[in-house]
Structure 1
Amino acid sequence: MSQEGDYGKWTISSSDESEDEKPKPNHPSTSLPPSAGHQAAYEPRYTCSQARKAAHRRKISPVKCSNADAASEVSPPKRQKSSSQEELGWCLSSSDDELPPETQQKVAEKVAVKEEKGIASPKDGAAPTAGNHGPPARHALTEDKEEYETSGEGQDIWDMLDRGNPFQFYLTRVSGIKPKYNSGALHIKDILSPLFGTLVSSAQFNYCFDVDWLMRQYPPEFRKKPVLLVHGEKREAKAHLHAEAKPYGNVSLCQAKLDIAFGTHHTKMMLLLYEEGLRVVIHTANLIREDWHQKTQGIWLSPLYPRMAHGAHTSGESPTRFKADLISYLTAYNAPPLKEWIDVVQDHDLSETNVYLVGSTPGRFQGSQKDNWGHFRLRKLLKEHTSSTPGAEAWPIIGQFSSIGSMGADASKWLCSEFTETLATLGKESRAPGKGGAPLHLIYPSVENVRTSLEGYPAGGSLPYSIQTAEKQSWLHSYFHKWSAETSGRSNAMPHIKTYMRPSADFGRIAWFLVTSANLSKAAWGALEKNGAQLMIRSYELGVLFVPSVFGLDSFRVKQRFFSGSQEPAASFPVPFDLPPELYGSKDRPWIWNIPYTRAPDTHGNMWVPS
């Protein structure tokens, strides 16, 4: 259906899916009725958001931006322009350069015809030809081997981990960029490698699982070891996940309780029990191939925690109380399958941990319990473990994320009131930022960022910001800054990482840094109710907070090059994007997944028509 609004003229997709945090459909594609078989063949095997489904369809059946298409479907601009956002299908102005609704409809109809032709199955089991696209084959082991590279020429992964990195903060390896930008990066196969330890069992906490793919990431000698999948699926989606796991006798499942509407299990964590000890991995990637292939993701690796000797007179606690907080987080699930893992954590020495745990769990919290979870947990830690310096009240705040929830009618409803008050906290004397203090920089990919990415427009499937939400909060977009990551060589690898930080006014130092699963949403961080007496959180989230005082510092220096090696001080923090962030230009627009972009092709020569 064609509509017109502040964003110009556009054709809306059939879904109102707004963000990763919103519940996934109860039925995965493979459980669709027979009449929907053609559609099912073009959707992922795992349950996921409508945005990711659209990206999957476009990868399999791309809409080419050929000269013929441009001549018949795209009205030429009245003036010569570069490939700006204004040319890509929507913009804030009411420009008559945009595609009229009837043209948008023609594009969508032509796509439908192309897809219908492409879905026809080869007769007698013949292999698909160039003109007869069958459903995608499941990823073969050879494909996994091709996309997985070692950590560098002759470089041992263990040597990389022991290189004097005090933060143990890493990015994921990206296929298709210069090797030097992968020299300090990790693939999931690295994390599960025998070099990290002799695996006994593991627990995988996540939002989205491709079970077959995940099991192939374990080395052959560990593929029969017990694996617990902690998920938030319900009803048909839960049944589908159980069916996917059934062929693997060593895989068991644990459902996270989600009693508040629109909540999700969004935490991304691995618990890896070895013969040699325990390791905790907190990261930002779903357990699907796409998230480990050409996206920017963040990983925190714990030290290898040794098992405590029987009868030891120590708690194995760290100065950051990480052990107690991790046990509290696991206990909040109130799930019998996690009791074993709580005991495992209890039996190990976590005293070497140098980060704080920042988690969210669903519920309504009052009194002192408000400080246990969500952004009030972050506020408490910043108040107790950071300190203000002269002029620091004007230091900017940076939030970087891949999904956006409903913020309300204006900035005062949540973002620039309770949430900004948390992010602006520095020490016990912190006060709510006044007018003109603590500038807020929000980093979210523009349409041009997505168009020119390694994946092209389908990269926008992991950036599920909808037109329905965007139109209700156009005020938010004045805070937006482009995704730019030359320092880590990742500008063209779209971010699924989520980070929050407080840099100095000159962007040379950092007061604190957080990497987390939590996007910019009230569901993830919590929102006050009952005149501020109660904090309501819908989702499970998890991250780690880096504070300079733990490292004996007043602030972290910003590492100028993420993969620069030992030329910079060891305590320089590797921020994964460029500082200072660059504000959107007059022609930049935030990526919105469920409207078409047909004015300029992406890096693969394709257009974006989501429906």
Structure 2
Amino acid sequence: MGSNDVPPPHVSPLYPAVSSLFMATGGLCYTITYILMVQQSLRDRTYAMPLFSLALNFAWEIVFSLYVAEAPLEKSIFVLWMVLDLGLVYAVVKYGQNEWAHAPAIGRNLGKIMIVGVLWCCWALWAVCSWWIDEAHPVNPKSGKVYFGVDGIDTTELGYWTALLAQVVLSCLLLAQITVRGHSGGASYSIWATRFVGSLAGINVYYGYCWYAWPEAHGYVMHPLSICFLASWPVADLAFLAVLREVKKNEVTLKDGRKTRRATLDTNNHIKVLMASSDDDEDLKRALAMSLEDAKSSPAAPIDLAESDDEEMRQAISLSLGDSANDETALPASSGSTLPPSSQDSLYASKLPQSSIASQEHVATSSQSSICSRTSGLLGLDRKAMEQERLARVNKRKRSASPERPAKLATRASSTTPTLDASNPAREFAPSGIQYPRGAIKRTWAYKYPRMNDIKVEEVLQASTLNIAVLSAFMTDDQWIYTKIDPEKIKQIWIMSAKGQEIQDEYKRQALAANVPNLKPHFPPMDGQIMNMHSKLMLLFHDTHLRVVVPTANLIKFDWGETNRDPNGESWQPAVMENTVFLVDLPRRLDGDVGRKQDLIAFGKGLMEFLEAQGLGNKVLDGVLKFDFSATDRLAFVHSIPGALTESCANRTGLPGLANAVRKLGLEANSLLLDYAASSLGAVKGSFLKQLYAAAGGRHSPDPKVPKDYLERVSIYFPSGDTVQKSNGGPDCGGIITLGRRDYNEYFPKQCMREYKSTRNGVLSHNKILLVRGQKKDGKPVAWAYVGSANLSESAWGSQKILKSGKEGKLNIRNWECGVVVPVSDEDLVNVDMQDDKLPPLDVFKNTIEVPWQHPGAKYGDKEPWFFRG
């Protein structure tokens, strides 16, 4: 445009060369800008140019290349830009949905929106251009301006107004886009520099020089509207630079390259204290209640939270304190943390789901001088101060969860790990994807230990054929999960713990702001006395089957046997934690219909009852009913639905629900042996163990048939302090194994305590396993295993007082829990010697569950258990 102009004699002869130089500089810079934008979009898995600006730019290049441009060089430049714009459009279609999680209808239809937008902009620009260059009535004709041999038609001014308008729109929308996103996805300093220089040279300087050299043909440059536009876009671009600088300080780069703001929902690097779960600690309840007050409330002194009876806050705290998404620390169990008063400046300290959606576990006070600036987190937790305290304590210790690579360290795998299954179904290829039609119990894989009857999380998920995943866990590491399940391909519902509507609404808002595709947070009821959403459950929907998974593990790498990597990207330290997983594959119904709940057998009814109680929508419930539960006839799904429950409801959940499940499976027994492995012990009392003993026999409490020596028949497997100290990760990995020293008092049934030592030497346990062996009325043996989320506490199983009338009062449960009862098969019991009132030996479980601890466990004697370090 303007290449055929004939300037009057007073115009400098250098005009064509100088103006062409400025225009060429602008064109070159913009070409580089487009290339960089495409590269950055693909790298960050987003789109760089706002939708309307991209549609307008694309249309501008289409119309000017095909309709307005006169010289071949001009046409070729516009065509080049069109081709590069295709890369930007591709990024919108490919990754645009990531940025529209808050408006899924737009995200799903970005391709159509782009087509409509480009077509409309083409129409509008063609209308303007055809009006402007009409040979009969050209707009604002000028002598010396020549277009296809016609004097007077000024395409230079046409290009000026249309390009300047597009530039103002682009600069303003880019500023709005980065402000709303809160991260630099699709942007960089290089892109800004080339775009700014290109726009400055190609518009302001080029047209400014044209006006200076040939004012009568370019007087429009000094029009008030022109000056407004010429000043507006640089201001917007400079503001963009300032915002870009700030967001880069507070963003997180995901492992797939995407970026997100640090101040969004964080399910691993942040902690959420909800309410106390302790049975006895009123101070803890008050402290946590205070933490839920509005940020403007008066400061309070730190509260000692060391004596809680629940389990995983310590790990949640340690996971929550990383400064960046890439900061991987092992599971510390520091000697204390502080709940300091602080303003609620930022509810979340990292990107979405990196949060341990942790409930109230153990937080202890500690006073260390702060070396980090205070960063307030959810509910007023000072994350920076807490991290500083943790690091100071760790520096005082010789061991850490991931110490420097020792020269002599070799794998400490146990040479005595039994081989329970020579074949490994988890690694066999099953064309239908159905591997466990009758259900199976597996140990979690452990890095640097021999693979036996174990399973990796990848083998559990079967991500290559996974369509929808419903995931429930007490703690969740989103970045780790994203390495296993691609959120762009697999729809996910995360059942999360959040007490209070305000907190739940904030989580939902932050989840939308995080722009993670296909992710829906769900919150079960948490009103009244309900404290924790502690259940671990996966519903994995595939084309051929539904895999129901009940692990004892949270959704964090350490629970699944993985460890951190050194600076070279290598994992060297053996696993520090192990868990157990139950899983069963349910085929689709042959009729393809949605079944009826009332037609389900016990396992299906228990599962559906739990899902309904958690408030999952009809789509999930109907989806579950599309699968065949008939092969689960030998299993029972047991749960703890929290609240103060009357008899009609109480009989189906908690300890009464366990008793009902035992009866329905025909597992009632009079004489029993109980082995309970737990990762957390509360203020356990003999009366509670008596209720557990009765329920394990299929009877409700109070039960006069419970023998007087029942405490001698119950073994509680829990690690001693010495075992934790000598474990692979040392005491810093003992944080999720909790028992308060105050709870280990004269009322605690200490005679039941047994040393928990894993058959994988050096590995700690996060298992919740109950093994029951007994004798039926007819003298036949019986044995079954419980695997699930419930620890040995009244919060998990419920407490029920006996009224003066002799009847049972309300069942009070504080936690959401779930698990599975799996009987030992008749074939494995047929040869058991039951003479002289003998009970089945523990090896009767060998084909049902690999018992992960060394048995019989040594009695504690003078040893002390591992205490929570407060």
The two structures have a TM-score, normalised by structure 1, of 0.65
Task: State the identity as a percent.
Answer: 22
1:369 is aligned with what amino acid?
C
What secondary structure sits across from 2:722 in the alignment?
helix
Written as runs of structure 1 = structure 2, the 5 A alignment for 1:86-165 is 115=392, 157-159=427-429
Question: Which residue among 457, 464, 476 is the counterpart of 1:209?
Answer: 476
Shift of 1:298: 1.0
- Please name the residue that 2:32 is paired with: none
Conservation of the 8 A alpha-carbon contact between 1:29 and 1:45: no
Question: Which residue among 503, 510, 516 is the counterpart of 2:788?
Answer: 516
Written as runs of structure 1 = structure 2, the 5 A alignment for 1:412-561 is 412=687, 414-416=688-690, 418-425=691-698, 432-437=705-710, 439-471=713-745, 475-486=748-759, 490-503=760-773, 511-529=783-801, 531=803, 532-548=808-824, 560=843
Counterpart Cα distance in 2 of 1:537 and 1:117:
36
Shift of 1:217: 1.7
2:822 is aligned with what amino acid?
F
> Does residue 328 in structure 1 map to residue 602 in structure 2?
no
Shift of 1:207: 1.1
- CA 1:34/1:369 → structure 2, altered by over 3 Å: closer, same or farther? closer
Conservation of the 8 A alpha-carbon contact between 1:375 and 1:422: yes
Written as runs of structure 1 = structure 2, the 5 A alignment for 1:345-384 is 345-353=624-632, 354-384=634-664
- Greater Rg, structure 1 or structure 2? 2
1:386 is aligned with what amino acid?
G
> Does residue 168 in structure 1 map to residue 443 in structure 2?
no
1:362 is aligned with what amino acid?
P
> Does residue 302 in structure 1 map to residue 573 in structure 2?
no
Q: Deviations over 1:247-305 (max 9, x none)?
A: 31211100111123352111101111112221111111111222223322111111242
- Please name the residue that 2:495 is paired with: 230
Question: Which residue among 378, 385, 396 is the counterpart of 2:673?
Answer: 396
Q: Deviations over 1:341-373 (max 9, x none)?
A: 111111211111131011011122223322110
> Does residue 584 in structure 1 map to residue 853 in structure 2?
no
> Does residue 279 in structure 1 map to residue 555 in structure 2?
no
What secondary structure sits across from 2:631 in the alignment?
coil
Shift of 1:465: 1.8
Q: Deviations over 1:547-596 (max 9, x none)?
A: 2478896799767599xxxxx7xx5543332333321132x21111224x
1:288 is aligned with what amino acid?
I
Q: Deviations over 1:152-187 (max 9, x none)?
A: 99997235998899651001011232x2xx232112
- CA 1:523/1:22 → structure 2, altered by over 3 Å: closer, same or farther? farther
Q: Deviations over 1:191-247 (max 9, x none)?
A: 12346xx111111011111222212122x5x65311000011246875468646723
Shift of 1:445: 1.0
- CA 1:186/1:48 → structure 2, altered by over 3 Å: closer, same or farther? same
Q: Which has the higher helix share?
A: 2
1:526 is aligned with what amino acid?
G
Q: Which moved more, 1:430-439 or 1:372-381?
A: 430-439
- CA 1:315/1:540 → structure 2, altered by over 3 Å: closer, same or farther? closer
- CA 1:265/1:164 → structure 2, altered by over 3 Å: closer, same or farther? closer
- Please name the residue that 1:68 is paired with: none
Counterpart Cα distance in 1 of 2:678 and 2:707:
25
- CA 1:503/1:211 → structure 2, altered by over 3 Å: closer, same or farther? same
- CA 1:551/1:379 → structure 2, altered by over 3 Å: closer, same or farther? farther
- Please name the residue that 2:108 is paired with: none
What secondary structure sits across from 1:468 in the alignment?
helix
1:574 is aligned with what amino acid?
E
- CA 1:289/1:49 → structure 2, altered by over 3 Å: closer, same or farther? farther
Q: Deviations over 1:86-113 (max 9, x none)?
A: xxxxxxxxxxxxxxxxxxxxxxxxx969
Shift of 1:477: 2.5
Shift of 1:378: 0.8
Conservation of the 8 A alpha-carbon contact between 1:374 and 1:537: yes
Q: Deviations over 1:416-465 (max 9, x none)?
A: 3x23322344799x853121246111111111121111211122111122
What secondary structure sits across from 1:253 in the alignment?
strand
User: What 5-or-longer segments of structure 2 have no aligned partner?
Assistant: 1-301, 324-339, 372-387, 404-420, 562-575, 833-839
- Please name the residue that 2:170 is paired with: none
Shift of 1:402: 0.7
1:401 is aligned with what amino acid?
A
Conservation of the 8 A alpha-carbon contact between 1:382 and 1:425: yes
- CA 1:431/1:338 → structure 2, altered by over 3 Å: closer, same or farther? farther
What secondary structure sits across from 1:368 in the alignment?
helix
Q: Deviations over 1:454-510 (max 9, x none)?
A: 211122111122223334x55332321011333xxx2422111101122259xx975
- CA 1:373/1:427 → structure 2, altered by over 3 Å: closer, same or farther? closer
User: What 5-or-longer segments of structure 1 have no aligned partner?
Assistant: 1-11, 62-110, 119-132, 137-150, 563-567, 596-611
Shift of 1:117: 12
What secondary structure sits across from 2:609 in the alignment?
helix
Shift of 1:19: 3.6
Conservation of the 8 A alpha-carbon contact between 2:681 and 2:791: yes
> Does residue 185 in structure 1 map to residue 466 in structure 2?
no
1:215 is aligned with what amino acid?
Y
Question: Which residue among 37, 43, 46 is the counterpart of 2:356?
Answer: 46
- Please name the residue that 2:560 is paired with: 292
Conservation of the 8 A alpha-carbon contact between 2:670 and 2:774: no
2:726 is aligned with what amino acid?
T
Conservation of the 8 A alpha-carbon contact between 1:561 and 1:574: no
Counterpart Cα distance in 2 of 1:262 and 1:312:
32
Conservation of the 8 A alpha-carbon contact between 1:501 and 1:512: yes
1:372 is aligned with what amino acid?
R
1:373 is aligned with what amino acid?
T
Counterpart Cα distance in 2 of 1:461 and 1:154:
32
Conservation of the 8 A alpha-carbon contact between 1:424 and 1:433: no
Counterpart Cα distance in 2 of 1:544 and 1:339:
24
- Please name the residue that 2:868 is paired with: 593
1:330 is aligned with what amino acid?
L
Conservation of the 8 A alpha-carbon contact between 2:683 and 2:748: no
Written as runs of structure 1 = structure 2, the 5 A alignment for 1:253-268 is 253-261=521-529, 263-268=531-536
